A and B are shown apart, each in its own frame.
Chain A
Amino acid sequence: MLEVKNLSKNFGSKRVLQDINLRFEPGKVYGIVGENGAGKTTLFRCISGIESHLGTVTSPYPSLKNHLGYLETTPIFMSYITGWEYLKLLCSAKNINTENFEEQNIFNLPLNQYAETYSTGMKKKLALMGVLLRKNDIFILDEPFNGVDIQSNMLITDIIEELKSLNKTVLISSHIFSTLSSICDEIILLSNGSIQKNVKKEDYEALEQSMKKSVLKKQLKKLVID
């Protein structure tokens, strides 16, 4: 089980995460929702260990990061690196000696082209493929559906279901509520760096309605569209 206790994060004097307490069980999919700037990505970066933080993140593993796959919102690719070389880098960094990436190329990506020249969706798919090839137990997928075509979205949904059936823990953030509600066992609402709600499947509809009421309508009134 992955457990986050009293996690807080400051950027300078600004507190971006405040006393986060969460438990994530194996074989379950957790959705994290919240407005832009709510702290979702920072929370993911803190859990993964990329960002330092206050509080603790405990897991059954001696080193959590060696069992954790993290898909960034906007995956970064170095210039002059092909898709194949990117996957090789990710695998060799974890002592995985596989090179038959073409066989496992589920998204039919042009692996011999420079990754930097890929479209947004292709970049996301390549990064996801890299995360999956590293054979982890916990997966953090930050906006996995963003910029990806509809067929691949369906494939990603299937991959998440498969990970769940393999008893993996999956944390996802997405702005597409319908996708989250169909695959998540629990949805966590993050607002201004704090956990506002922890919602089970049966209350998803109520959560969606309350989000619409409290945020969308209020915000839309501010915008003047001529």
Chain B
Amino acid sequence: MKYYLTLQYTRLTRWLKDMGINPVLGFVLGLILFVVLSELLFYKTIYAPWVYGAMALFLCSKWSDAKRNRELRKIFTTKEYYSLRVAENILSSLPFLIFLLMKTAHIPAAILLIASILLAFIRTNRQWNKPIPTPFKKLPFEFIVGFRKSFWAFGLAYILIGKAIQADNYYLGLFGMALIFLTSMLFYQKPEPKYFVWIHTHRAPDFLKRKMITSAICVSILSALALILLLIPFSENWVTTLLVYLGGYIFLGSMILAKYSAYPYEINIPQGIFYALSLMFPPILLIAIWVFYKQSKKRLEPILEC
């Protein structure tokens, strides 16, 4: 178990090195960022301890993936496996626990500790033999995979829109609609294996165009009802609604370009920061789209046009 955890630490330092960051500097910067964001959260809302606890548990839940746990069970004895899972979860929630204790939020801290231990005994993301039906069957592959993994998020988005109409809270409804686009953007987070790009017979610009058209069709299927539901009861806000809706398409398209700008690797930290900034300041987004398009074309050409 000790060797396994050491190995994970080694993997993390290698990942930082691959990103061009000195591991020591990476850990120090990470710690500073963690403290600053935590302080900001506690300053902004009185519900911070609960939001904070939920964030820690969300992080722990990432270790509960069924496939990952199946592999761990193959390697370790039952006792070792559960010890490892508990250790992983405690280590992941430790920074949050320390911060909660520093803020004298003892009850959330205790609940977080118990919940993170209990979470070690749960496996998530099980893949059943019976496929979840999707309207994207003929439009492989990002939305098929993404929808089956995150269909609950779309359900949540529509619940929020329903609540927004019920409570006459426009911005809650707007958030619900934005959630559909944000969730869809996550489908383009990770690069697919090279083979799945290589199989395309299109040139790089066509490939990118097709990816964007497919994503636009798929996200329209998911979000059209949300748009109608918001436009009818909140007709006085139609300009804002349409702007956010249109913005969703632009953000989704830019996410595809950002993904392939680093392909076959994941977006590195400087690219990620640039992209995050461009999302916050839309004028930069126009430059980002152009830069990412050029980079994507360059990255894809050797694979698609060989």
Chain A residues with Cβ below 8 Å from B303 are: 49-50
Q: Does B171 interact with chain A (Cβ within 8 Å)?
A: no
B145 touches A80 (CB 8 A): yes
**CB-CB under 8 A for A78 and B127, given A49-B306, A50-B198, A85-B141:** no
- B274-306 interface bits toward A, Cβ cutoff 8 Å, 1 = contact, 0 = none: 000000000000000000000000000011011
Task: State the CA gap A89–B142 with chains docked (Å).
Answer: 11
A76 within 8 A of B: yes
Bound together, the chains give a CA A210 to CA B154 distance in angstroms of: 63
The answer to whether the Cβ of B75 comes within 8 Å of any Cβ in the partner chain is no
Q: What chain B residues lie within 8 Å of A66 (beta carbons)?
A: 201
- The segment from B42-50, B87-95, B188-196, B218-226 found at the interface with A is B188-196
- Closest B residue to A65 by beta carbon equals B306
Q: Is the CB of B306 within 8 A of A64?
A: yes
| Interface core residue of B67, B141, B302 (most chain A CB under 10 Å) | B141
Interface residues of A, CB < 8 Å — how many? Answer: 33
With a CB–CB cut-off of 8 A, which chain B residues contact A117? 127, 129
Q: Which residues of A contact B305 (CB under 8 A)?
A: 63
Docked pose: A192 CA to B57 CA in angstroms:
50
B239 at the interface (CB under 8 A from A): no
Residue among B138, B201, B305 facing the most chain A CB atoms (10 A cut-off): B201
Q: A50-B198, A93-B199, A94-B199 are in contact. Are A113 and B141 (CB under 8 A)?
A: no
Interface membership of B137, Cβ < 8 A: yes
Contact A76–B145 (Cβ < 8 Å): no
Residue A114 at the chain B interface, CB threshold 8 Å: yes
Chain B residues close to A by CB (< 8 Å): 67, 127, 129, 131-132, 137-138, 140-141, 144-145, 148-149, 192-196, 198-201, 302-303, 305-306
Known: A66-B201, A80-B131, A94-B199. 5 other contacts (CB 8 A): A64-B306, A65-B306, A89-B141, A93-B200, A117-B127
